[in-house]
């Protein structure tokens, strides 16, 4: 019968590859969070400021942004673990431990801030005279809400162009609503 300790040995090569793979995934998540912040969150407030006829609130994007401070630090931990072949567990008095702790604290704080931002954005839209229009929602997009400030714009689109601009075929003409408020 084999010794049970032999079953618990891990392959050093597999451990290093897993660390590198996880680090790459975490960096991709951080890049996605930065991309969503730049392309979806910041333009959202520009549309509210300009009183755009349609405002799209991508609710998931608020929470992905919370991963921005967490992912690079954890990627660094994965790379250190891959290099050393041991799990990343810095001593409590080291700067790596402090960096890890602060990034986790900031991530949790940003998750709370994300929920508050969603609530404040919803309250701001309501205060500015917008209301939710589920007809504009793209099929299968449950984490996306469209807010309108004109009842004529709340319709079931036949297609979408550009940055989710809704279009309706009227007669032989395809009419699209420019939703960016410009």
Q: Please indicate, yes or no, if residue 125 is contained in any of the structural domains.
A: yes
Q: Please indicate, yes or no, if residue 149 is contained in any of the structural domains.
A: yes
Is pLDDT above 60 for 7? Answer: no
pLDDT of residue 127: 96
What's the domain range around 45?
A: 10-176
85-113 tens-digit pLDDT: 888 888 999 998 998 899 889 889 988 99
Q: Please indicate, yes or no, if residue 39 is contained in any of the structural domains.
A: yes
Is pLDDT above 60 for 3? Answer: no
26-60 tens-digit pLDDT: 999 999 999 999 998 999 999 999 998 888 888 88
Strands (E), the chain: 54-58, 131-132, 144-148, 159-161, 165-170, 173-176
* Domain count within the chain: 1
Predicted TM-score (pTM) of this structure:
0.76
Neighbouring CB atoms inside 10 A of 163's CB total 12
Q: Please indicate, yes or no, if residue 140 is contained in any of the structural domains.
A: yes
Q: Please indicate, yes or no, if residue 182 is contained in any of the structural domains.
A: no
| 4 vs 70, residue with greater confidence | 70
Q: How far apart are CA 180 and CA 52, in angstroms?
A: 6
pLDDT of residue 92: 92
Q: Please indicate, yes or no, if residue 169 is contained in any of the structural domains.
A: yes
51-66 tens-digit pLDDT: 988 888 888 888 888 8
Residue 54 structure tokens: 């349609």
Over residues 148-156, the mean pLDDT reads 87
């Amino acid at each position: 019968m084999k010794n049970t300790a032999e079953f618990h040995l891990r392959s050093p090569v597999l451990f290093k590859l897993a660390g590198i793979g996880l680090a790459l995934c975490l960096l991709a998540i951080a890049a996605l969070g930065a991309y969503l912040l730049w392309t979806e969150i910041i333009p959202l407030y520009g549309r509210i400021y300009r009183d755009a006829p349609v405002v799209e609130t991508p609710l998931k994007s608020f929470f992905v942004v919370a991963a921005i401070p967490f992912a690079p630090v954890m990627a660094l931990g994965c790379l250190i673990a891959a290099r050393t072949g041991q799990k990343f567990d810095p001593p409590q008095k080291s700067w790596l431990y402090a960096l890890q702790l602060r990034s986790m604290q900031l991530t949790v704080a940003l998750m709370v801030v994300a929920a508050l931002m969603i609530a404040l954005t919803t309250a701001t839209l309501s205060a500015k005279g917008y209301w939710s229009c589920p007809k504009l929602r793209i099929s299968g997009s449950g984490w996306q809400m469209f807010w309108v400030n004109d009842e004529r714009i709340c319709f079931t689109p036949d297609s979408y162009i550009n940055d989710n601009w809704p279009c309706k075929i009227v007669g032989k003409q395809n009419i699209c609503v420019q939703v960016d408020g410009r």
